[in-house]
Amino acid sequence: MQNVQEIEYLLRDVMSLYATQDEKKQAAAQAALKHLPKGGILGVGTGSTVNFLIELLPELQLEAAVASSEATAQRLKKLGIEVVDMNHVGGLDAYVDGADEIDRHMHMIKGGGAALTREKIVASIAKKFVCIVDDSKWVDQLGRDFPLPVEVIPMARSAVARKIVSLGGDPVYREGVVTDNGNVILDVFNLNILNALELEKTLNNIPGVVCNGIFAINKADIAVVATDNGIEERTAV
């Protein structure tokens, strides 16, 4: 006879509208389209959920896109979407991206794919930030389960790590990863992120830090969240 936990797991599985996490990501991507402008120039993020969205972007008949990574740029070009240099763009109607974690304030942790700096730069010139996630990324407090990525100038890696330790974090060098900007990543565990906005500023002020993965200054305006019961659109509370 199956135990209670097994039965509960099977019930949850049956009750979900989606069979897999990828199906949730696809649903979030599809639901995000209505929040994105047709035509014009769109800022496009990086990651597995965004990859599903990129396949749908031809529907928007975009004039062009600004990509947050070389990987995203290549995907866009394969679909015939022109990728333009951000220096030639005055602003963007919208930026769309996923997140490694997001909370009820629309603050996020990003950078699992090591594209955090370019993502933050592109997001900064957009009128609207649309975040697309499945509900596994929705958290009560940032940083408890997912380490905070920090992009660092290579020569400053050890110095930055010591500063982070003094703030209570446990930095781990991400072996074998070089960002599109030629830098390295420290993944910081055990940070108590109670004030995301202040911590984002504090980390950015450490000499040698290029950017950190807290998106509180450039928070999301709306989150399109795929749950077991369907799509939910959430804004900051």
Number of Cβ within a 10 Å radius of residue 37? 15
Active site residues per annotation: 119
Encoded tokens for 200: 């984002």
